[in-house]
Amino acid sequence: MFSAFAKVTTGVDKTDELKKILDGLAKKQVYVGIPEGGERPEEQGQPITNAQLLYAHTHGIRQKAMRDEMNPKVESGEMTYSKAYQMWIQTHGSPLWRSPPRPVLEPAIEHNKEALSNQLRKVSEVALDGGDPEPELHKAGLMGQNFAREWFTNPENGWPPNSPITEERKGSDKPLIDTGEIRKAITYVVKG
């Protein structure tokens, strides 16, 4: 026969307070990337933002002749791609890309997800202890920003090397690093 004694205590019900804290925290968002309007310097003479440039490098660029041939067909609806195929091409690139995909944000965050998770845990702990989570959210954003910026030179980024023509033109064998403007444009914001 099993016999046990249990001591039951009652206290103040803080369920509503806890729910309020968690609801407030759930409204907070930390974004890492290049905000739209992150313009490139005027001296480069390009009507493209750093956000658009990073998107192009993330997904690759088709050769101009191919774009000229395909764009009217795609825009008219004559040529269509399934959403699954479009997603596959954007994720993996294609032998037809002139500039191969070199993603930055997603793989950098994925590569450092443990450190970011630990920081976000601190955000929760501070909030649940009644403190202001905002400084810890900013630390998480700064970490994400720095991880993304460091990804440009991380040997684990898996990026294809520059072509010999690009190396000669740039005088460098480092993909996506020319003036450093894209890398410097990566930042973070906390909203909510």
| Residue 134 and residue 190 in contact, taking contact as beta carbons nearer than 8 Å | yes
Provide the angle, in degrees to the nearest 10, between the axes of the packed helices 15-26 and 113-128: 140
| Average pLDDT score over residue span 12-35 | 89
Distance separating alpha carbons of residues 40 and 188, to the nearest angstrom: 18
Assess whether pLDDT exceeds 60 at residue 95: no
User: What confidence tens digit (pLDDT) does each residue in 182-192 have?
Assistant: 888 899 999 98
* The amino acid at 48: I
Question: What pLDDT score does 176 carry?
Answer: 82
Question: What pLDDT score does 181 carry?
Answer: 83
The tokens describing 148, both together, are: 């993304």
Distance separating alpha carbons of residues 175 and 167, to the nearest angstrom: 9
Question: What pLDDT score does 1 carry?
Answer: 44
What is the three-class DSSP state of 82? Answer: coil
Assess whether pLDDT exceeds 70 at residue 135: yes
Spacing of C-alpha 20 from chain mean position: 29
User: What confidence tens digit (pLDDT) does each residue in 29-78 have?
Assistant: 999 988 865 555 555 556 667 787 787 788 777 676 766 676 676 667 77
97 confidence band (pLDDT: 50, 70, 90)? low
The tokens describing 159, both together, are: 């990026």
